[in-house]
Amino acid sequence: MIASAGNTRLWTYVALTLCIIGLTMSCRGSKKLKSGYVAGSLTAESLYDTLEARQPSYKWFSAKGKIRAQTDEIAVGATIQLRMLHDSLIWIRAEKLGFEVGRVLIKPDSAYVINRINREYYAVELSEFMKEYNAPFGFEDLQRMLAGGTIELPANQIQTEARDEFTRLRIHTEDFVGLYWFDELLILDHSLLVDSYGRSVEVTFDDYRSVQGNGDIPFAKELKLFDGESTTELILNFSEIEIDIPRSVRFQIPSNYERVD
């Protein structure tokens, strides 16, 4: 577990929660539906295919916004910047009242967290970072999720069913059950992912906006994460998303910071 449990662990947890949001996140497609083509006539296979077809395509991905997270023990809010280079890195910077409080750098094989408040840092192999937070996925999944896509669940058992005004896609895999509620325009409204241990992520989506070359992406999300014992609630509102505009990525651990583990 991470030392100085207050701030370092919570900011690390917030950073990972941003990744977990994407477990059930999907962007709205840019193609218009054909006249008379409604959700009720979709097959499970075609609705499943929309999840893959709508993965954002990018080399550089950047976003700015605000995040609010609350656990059973503590609540925190911050302004964040997110930058990603496809297949290479994930960089997150958090500010509070105009002052930087932390940075996160995730690479395909490692993860680093800087806590400015306590003047300390955390460094670990990515596999250990994922294990620490019971996250059963890897670097590629993290990037897909943060960019507004979904992890690729194998379609070994899929079905659709009517639920009130929604069409619900159900995906069964060896490790997960994924539920996706689409409205009549095939816009993802909310989702639920439950793993074999009873842990779950529930997400609702709002404020869809067009992002260059990638259709519409939900800029506002509300999330409830249950880890088997406690629940974390998170509200994320992006004010800006940019695709394929290179940005600087600075991450340097000060020599006087203490390493914690």
HEC profile of the chain: CCCCHHHHHHHHHHHHHHHHHHHHCCCECCCCCCCCCCHHHCCHHHHHHHHHHCCCCCCEEEEEEEEEEECCCCEEEEEEEEEEECCCEEEEEEEECCEEEEEEEEECCEEEEEECCCCEEEEEEHHHHHHHCCCCCCHHHHHHHHCCCCCCCCCCEEEEEEECCEEEEEEECCCEEEEEEECCCCCEEEEEEEECCCCEEEEEEEEEEECCCCCEEEEEEEEEEECCCCEEEEEEEEEEEEECCCCCCCCCCCCCCEECC
Q: Is residue 168 in a domain?
A: yes
pLDDT digits (tens, 9 = 90+) for 73-85: 777 888 999 999 9
Q: Please enumerate in sequence order all residues whose Cβ is within 8 A of that of 114, keeping only pairs 6 or more positions apart, or say none.
A: 102, 103, 104, 121, 251, 253, 257
- From 41-50, 114-123, 188-197, the region with the lowest mean pLDDT: 41-50
Question: How many domains, the chain?
Answer: 1
- The whole-angstrom separation of Cα 19 and Cα 16 is 5
pLDDT of residue 28: 34
Q: Is the pLDDT score of 34 beyond 60?
A: no
Domain of residue 19, residue span? 5-246
- Beta strand 258-259 with 120-125: parallel, antiparallel or unpaired? parallel
Q: Determine the pLDDT at residue 23.
A: 36
Q: Is residue 93 part of a domain?
A: yes
pLDDT single digits (tens) 232-244? 888 888 999 998 8
Rounded to an integer, the average pLDDT of 158-167 is 87
pLDDT band of residue 247 (cuts 50, 70, 90) is very high
State the average pLDDT over residues 183-194.
85
What's the pLDDT at 26?
35
The pLDDT of residue 205 is 84
pLDDT range class, residue 54, cuts 50, 70, 90: low
Query: Could you tell me if residue 251 is inside a domain?
Result: no
In a domain, 252, yes or no: no
CATH number for the domain that contains residue 235: 2.50.20.10
What's the average model confidence in pLDDT over 90-108?
90
Whether 113 is covered by a domain: the verdict is: yes
**pTM across the whole model:** 0.74
Instruction: Kindly tell me if the per-residue pLDDT of 20 is higher than 50.
Output: no
Least trusted range by pLDDT, from 17-26, 81-90, 117-126: 17-26
Backbone angles phi, psi at 140, to 5 degrees: -60, -40
So what's the pLDDT on residue 246? 92
Residue 182 has pLDDT above 80, yes or no: yes
Cβ count near 9 (within 10 Å): 20
Question: Is 257 part of any domain?
Answer: no
Question: For the chain, what is the mean pLDDT?
Answer: 77
Chain centroid offset of residue 202 CA: 12
Asked whether the predicted pLDDT for residue 4 surpasses 50, the reply is no
Q: Tell me if 146 is assigned to some domain.
A: yes
Range in 37-41, 78-82, 182-186, 198-202 with the lowest mean pLDDT = 37-41
β-strand partners of 51: none
Phi then psi dihedrals of residue 78, to 5 deg: -160, 165
- pLDDT mean over 174-190: 85
229 located within any domain = yes
Q: Report the pLDDT value the prediction gives residue 22, as an integer from 0 to 100.
A: 38
